[in-house]
A and B are shown apart, each in its own frame.
Chain A
Amino acid sequence: MPEPSLLSRRLIFLTGKGGVGKTTVAFALAQAAASSGRRTLVADLQGSGDTREVEVAPGLMHVSIDPQSAMEQYLSVQVPAPAAHLLRQSHLFAAFAMATPGMRELLCMGKFWELAQHERRTADAEPYDLVVVDAPASGHGAALLRAPRTFAEIARVGPIAHQARTIAQTFADPDFTAVLAVTTAEEMPVTETLELQDSLKRGPDPLKLHAVILNALYPRRFSDADTHTLEALRNRGRTSTELRTILDAALAEHARARSQERQEERLRLAFPDRLLTLPYLFEPELKLPQVALLAAELDAQLVGGN
């Protein structure tokens, strides 16, 4: 149900527990979109220092957002020149803005929003067809999504409140934005994904998880009967240590695959028709070639999706 249209959204907001491979999945989604001719950007919050938009592959750009420079850009575009100049010069204002609860989050969300607009605010910036936000871990990610709404509530009136409301609406618009969770098939990340879905549903502006991407699924190479054979061989007296190590690896992998099946089942119950899966890659590192493999995998599931 969600799949065919996923990549035609303008914004994909990706969150999930730390260590589940969010960044790799963000690039895989972006690569899938770029391969179908969409100018795509991956935006994350690791920003400190270099915050330019850099092309990493044809049609695939990357940027790191840094709240400080997001604020400077905001001021130069949104505030009349003399006042903006005054505020930019003021250390007090910088301290104020950076310390005000929710302000950093709002500035980041504002920047994501701006990146996804057809009419970019920033002079001579080219528009993107799709922006994939590689957001922080679930708790922080959900807080980030809520920041514009909460900020609008405390500020109530004035330009910031007005803009915060616009940004909140954009992120809550399912035609514009898809919120996705990435997880692995382990107990804690799955539990966090289910909780994320609940916490997004709450509040005045409920958000829905568009889909869940189940990452790093182990292969199911062996049947239960196979493992009995392997165990028997392992326990035979004459089996060499070297062979025993190999059998241990196979048995451990099988045990993990079985436990992953149980976690996958929990997800299938909660997200029927909204689950995409990616295999675990036995690779020394995950760079562009591996990302391309995962992108092809996602693409196949999106096209083949019902």
Chain B
Amino acid sequence: MSDHKHARAMGAEQLLAGRRICVCVGAGGVGKTTTAATLAIGMAMRGQKVVVVTIDPARRLAEALGLETLDNEPQRVFAPGSKRLNDAGLPDIKGELWAVMLDPKRTFDELIDRVSPSPERAAEIKRNGVYRQLSSAVAGSQEFTAIEKLYELAQEDYDLLVLDTPPAHSATEFLNAPGRLNAFLGGGALQALIRPTGLGMRLLGIGATPLLSALRLVTGVDLLTDLTRFLSLLGGMAGDFTARAARVEELLHADTTGFVLVTTAEDRPVQEAIAFRETLRASKMPFVGTIVNRVAPAIHAGTRAGLDGKLAADLADRLLACARDHEVLATRDRANIRRLREGLGEQPLLVVPDLDERLSDASGLFAMQQELFGD
């Protein structure tokens, strides 16, 4: 299979060369979590100290890695001479593999603890209704805290950080959500909105009173009170959020960071991958390559003649029907991989065959590792 040869010639190791952060992005259900774990295992085998950050639900991954549970703090999964590797009959690794399962609420709380001037202030913020809603909302807080966690771990001594991203309904959502939350937390606009004589108001030439009363009309007084209270609690911390957001942005744009697009060769994920490539280009994020999962193996159904005498007629018919169906998928996948190559530009594209049921344990991950890294 020519696509296969391509994967071997250009493996995941070259894809990640010179990168310290690898962000796996793509549509839901394309195998992002598995791919992130596999990249991490592969680099750990080759001597790096790697941490993989996964997003819930990653229980099956925890099981595959041989852990009971994953935690918001990094846990060491494999190290040289790991008994767990030995027991499973797997090759030893030269580096270390660590894993984190993101807990958005806890990551958010820890961030508040870190930036608050006092524990009392932190406690009061955490009690505020607006904060509670903000930190536990699924939409937005996963994306925001995933990036937070990445930033936090980047301060430690890992050689490589691999981030699995939340299942966004559109891929660009992942890139936009953290910015929205940061705008809210560090938002000068909001501060100005609440402060009656804010500079922003004067600049816009709107008197605070009519705007505020219009707002009150729409939102109800209590929301405004809670928000005002929340923002005044954040008080001097708004600057910290903005500064932090700027450093995170810088980290994501660094030339030691690489975005890896994960997709299958099906129609919709391919369309999304091409659209996501455009988003990365527009936001100047470093794109390093694409991994195409679950590609159907090449197959040529042929005719009944080849089966005559070997099988009962009825079974031969069913076998042929099956082969024709799978030939349709194989042809589709090849056409879509061509589309991807045309739509994604020069960066490498690695093709992983369908490993179906084998990915539920560590040996499955090692098998996929071989596909991705070559031998």
Interface residues of A (CB under 8 A from B): 17-20, 23, 45-46, 48, 75, 78-80, 83-84, 86-87, 89-93, 95-96, 98-102, 104-105, 136-137, 139-140, 142-144, 150, 153-161, 187-189, 191-192, 195, 221-222, 226, 229-230, 233, 240, 242-243, 245-250, 252-253, 255-256, 259, 282-286
For residue B246, CB closer than 8 A to chain A, the reply is: no
Chain B residues 197 to 251 lying within 8 A of chain A, measured CB to CB, are 200-201, 204, 206, 210-211, 213-223, 226-227
Question: Which 10 A-B residue pairings sit nearest by Cβ, starting from the closest?
Answer: A18-B28, A19-B29, A158-B220, A99-B184, A136-B169, A282-B325, A143-B138, A83-B214, A155-B223, A95-B189
Closest to A221 in B: B318
State in angstroms the CA–CA spacing of A100 and B227 once bound together. Answer: 9
Summarize A's interface: helix, strand, loop or mixed: helix
In the assembled complex, which residues on chain A have CB atoms less than 8 Å from the CB atom of B307? 243
Total number of B residues with any Cβ neighbor in A under 8 Å: 82
State in angstroms the CA–CA spacing of A136 and B168 once bound together. Answer: 8
With A83-B214, A102-B137, A253-B322 known as contacts, the answer to whether A160 contacts B223 (CB < 8 A) is: yes
Closest to A71 in B: B218
Is the CB–CB distance between A137 and B218 below 8 Å? no
Stretch at the interface among B89-97, B118-126, B128-136, B364-372: B128-136
Is the CB–CB distance between B167 and A229 below 8 Å? no
Closest to B330 in A: A249
Is the CB–CB distance between A160 and B215 below 8 Å? no
Is the CB–CB distance between A285 and B267 below 8 Å? yes
In the assembled complex, which residues on chain A have CB atoms less than 8 Å from the CB atom of B180? 98-99
In the assembled complex, which residues on chain B have CB atoms less than 8 Å from the CB atom of A104? 139
Is the CB–CB distance between A159 and B218 below 8 Å? yes
Is the CB–CB distance between A256 and B218 below 8 Å? no
State in angstroms the CA–CA spacing of A100 and B130 once bound together. Answer: 9
Is the CB–CB distance between A256 and B357 below 8 Å? yes
Is the CB–CB distance between B181 and A284 below 8 Å? no
Interface residues of B (CB under 8 A from A): 27-30, 56-57, 59-60, 129-130, 133-134, 137-140, 142, 166-170, 180-181, 183-184, 187, 189-190, 192-193, 200-201, 204, 206, 210-211, 213-223, 226-227, 264, 267-269, 297-302, 306-307, 310-311, 315, 318-323, 325-326, 328-329, 331-332, 335, 354, 356-357, 360
A-B contact pairs, 17 of them (CB 8 A): A48-B170, A92-B193, A95-B183, A105-B139, A139-B142, A140-B168, A143-B138, A150-B137, A154-B133, A155-B220, A159-B218, A160-B219, A160-B220, A245-B300, A247-B319, A252-B354, A285-B267
